[in-house]
Amino acid sequence: MCRCFVPSQLFHIFARQQKGKDMGTALDKQTSDKVSFITFIIPRFAESYKMNVRDAYLYLKKYGGLEYLMEHWWALHTDNPFWAVRDMYEICHQNGGAR
């Protein structure tokens, strides 16, 4: 049986990675929007490239796609998800990910 991440698990992973930030019990609006977009787009990436969500997350993390997503989420979320997924794929490929 495949253990796949669901959006709520991705949320908790993201929250744990916010080093040095006081997460408290509530997130500010921008952080909440960022988490919402990230938990939306990673499963889209997984679906597009025939991966489970866990493998997609690990692939993006290993090849810089997640860092790119965290840094540029604001611009990426305003465009069609197809282009965000494609941009993340290109970043991963430039950093040694499979073509």
pLDDT in tens, 49-72: 999 999 999 999 999 999 999 999
Domain contains 66: yes
Domain contains 12: no
Q: Give the burial string for 13-33 (b: 16+ CB within 10 Å, else e).
A: ebeeeeeeeeeeeebeeeeee
Q: Which domain holds residue 95?
A: 30-99
pLDDT in tens, 12-24: 666 666 555 555 5
Domain contains 1: no
Domain contains 19: no
Structurally, the chain folds into a number of domains equal to 1
pTM of full prediction above 0.75: no
Domain contains 65: yes
